[in-house]
Structure 1
Amino acid sequence: MGIAHRDLKPENLLLTNYGRLKISDFGHAECFRLAWEDQVHMSTRRCGSAPYVSPEQYLAQPFDPRYADIWAAAIVYIAMRAGRNPWKSATVKDECFRDYTEDCEAGSQYFLIKDITHERSCAILHSMLNVTPAHRPGVAETLRSQWLQEVCCCQATTNPGLPG
């Protein structure tokens, strides 16, 4: 739709009584492309909650906000599965984040991701958390991943008289 949320975190993800996901709090949202445009508008401002902010937002250069949301979505999943965030901020000042980047550079899987996932989900999560934004998958590629294709979803029955 041309909008990056820029503040994805569990507190902004709501479920209706029919089990539908609703994303809330678009106060930091950013339009990265209008419907008739082909080019993406880069962002220059960091926003969101520190554990979910992607590493490129700490650099003094423009970045693609779409990939910041991909990063945050992976952190949300890890937080939901592990019951905690993997690090406080995605900067070299954070020891846990440094450990993550060192594991990635060595070709190892980060222990926390390895502990809460299986092989197929581990691969897509590591790609979503690639410290180089251009190497992260986009939304379509993420949704086409083998892991997400195999996820069984509940289909809530809807009451036709109520909005979803």
Structure 2
Amino acid sequence: MDEATALKNCGYIMGVSLAEGCYGKVKSAYSNQYKAHVAVKIIDKKKADNNYLEKFLPREMEILALVNHKNIVKTYEIFESSDEKIYIIMELAVNGNLLQYLKSRGSLPEDRSQKMFRQLAMAMKYCHDINIVHRDLKCENVLLDINYNIKLSDFGFSKQCAYDEDGSILLSKTFCGSVAYTAPEVLEGIPYDPKVSDIWSMGVVLFVMVCDHWPYDDSNIQQMVSTQKMHTVDFRSKCVTSECKDLIIHILHPNVLKRLTIEKILAHTWMQSTNSESTHRKKAAECFQTVHQQEEQPNGSKLQNKGNNKTEAKSKATQCKNESKPDKEKWQGRKKAQSPNPITKGIKKGLKRD
């Protein structure tokens, strides 16, 4: 059964391609019953290796069933066709991802960056509060809805945290994510707290939003780690307020014990409600004081897609091969679509575990 037919049998008209990955693709679709556009992630199990099928896919399915937050992409339905393809029906973020947005606009005003970063921080706090770590936070996985609100997506690297008998989080030992967003302790192969490494990635996202370039050059990973550990953050000629710089510097702290927690990020001065006009005046004054010391930069965004530069140039299954396997439980949906089914809030009740 081809993909268009499988979707049609469930009440969806397949649209255009939105993205493509190792084991699948994302397409747009239209629901006849609910008169709404959705995104469809299609995973071809025949193309996936066993490690992905036994570890990453069950994790992702389980986490999608758990998360429910206004700043996380909603999952409406999951089903499997007779030709071993899994269809994940999700909320469609019509304004693309954050990296695309920044490439078209350049750096964002701080008041807008603050609003969007607060939404991202709240989504991450929600995940961490229920012991879910993302492990692949990057601009490409931060989507934008019709009102340009943040929608966190792609839980393919995510997992639920485990704790020892004393209640301490078990440290991770694997390399997950994209190099440009990865904390130094992860790149060095040091056992790390995945919640703390998520926070580093948040700092990179904020830096890119306000500066329109990357905080570190990832073309030489060894040199990049050395720069990270020196706690050097190069804002170049971008005019960023002192409060925003202070927040970024304390998020991108190489010492995990000194790196800000999400609670402290949300309580930071820059994160509080600000008057747009006064913030603009303050930023303009600070820029006037320093602009004569800075080199003039050409117009246009300097951002390049860093999402494909993984910490290891291998599949997700290979990248995280050292991690302990989860329970053998596997999600299984409908084997064959027969008629249109209503979209329900959350995961479709028909899903079962073997």
TM-score range, shorter chain: 0.7 to 0.9
Q: CA deviation at 1:87?
A: 1.7
1:86 aligns with 2:209: no
Q: How well do the aligned residues superpose, as a CA RMSD in angstroms? A: 2.7
Deviations 1:27-62 (A, max 9, x none): 11122257xx94322111111111001000022331
Quote the residue 1:30 is aligned against: 159
Distance 1:151 1:49 in 2: 32
Asked which structure has the greater CA Rg, the reply is 2
1:138 aligns with 2:138: no
Q: In 1, are the aligned partners of 2:215 and 2:233 still within 8 Å (CA)? A: no
Distance 2:228 2:172 in 1: 25
Structure 2 runs not aligned, ≥5 long = 1-129, 277-344, 346-354
Question: Aligned partner of 1:70: which letter?
Answer: I
Deviations 1:70-122 (A, max 9, x none): 1111111112222221223395423xx645654x4xxxx73317834211111
Q: In 2, are the aligned partners of 1:114 and 1:122 still within 8 Å (CA)? A: no
1:2 aligns with 2:125: no
Q: CA deviation at 1:12?
A: 0.4
Distance 1:3 1:66 in 2: 8
Q: In 1, are the aligned partners of 2:174 and 2:189 still within 8 Å (CA)? A: no
Task: Specify whether residues 16 and 111 from structure 1 end up closer, same or farther in structure 2 by C-alpha distance, changes over 3 A only.
Answer: same
Q: Secondary structure at the match of 1:26?
A: coil
1:149 aligns with 2:278: no
Task: Specify whether residues 48 and 133 from structure 1 end up closer, same or farther in structure 2 by C-alpha distance, changes over 3 A only.
Answer: same
Distance 1:93 1:145 in 2: 30
**TM-score, normalization by structure 2:** 0.37
Deviations 1:7-37 (A, max 9, x none): 1111100111133311111111122257xx9
Distance 1:113 1:66 in 2: 29
Distance 2:203 2:211 in 1: 12
Question: Aligned partner of 1:73: which letter?
Answer: M
Q: In 2, are the aligned partners of 1:129 and 1:136 still within 8 Å (CA)? A: yes
Q: Secondary structure at the match of 2:171?
A: coil
Distance 1:137 1:113 in 2: 23
Task: Specify whether residues 56 and 120 from structure 1 end up closer, same or farther in structure 2 by C-alpha distance, changes over 3 A only.
Answer: same
Structure 1 residue ranges, 4+ long, deviating more than 6 angstroms after superposition = none
Q: Secondary structure at the match of 1:115?
A: coil
**TM-score, normalization by structure 1:** 0.75
- Equivalenced residues, count: 145
| Matching residue within 116, 121, 127 for 2:250 | 127
| Matching residue within 172, 185, 190 for 1:43 | 172
Distance 1:114 1:142 in 2: 25
Q: CA deviation at 1:63?
A: 0.4
Distance 2:236 2:167 in 1: 35
Percent identity over the alignment is 25
Quote the residue 2:234 is aligned against: 111
Task: Specify whether residues 98 and 42 from structure 1 end up closer, same or farther in structure 2 by C-alpha distance, changes over 3 A only.
Answer: closer
Distance 2:199 2:239 in 1: 19
Question: Aligned partner of 2:268: which letter?
Answer: S
| Matching residue within 60, 70, 77 for 2:189 | 60
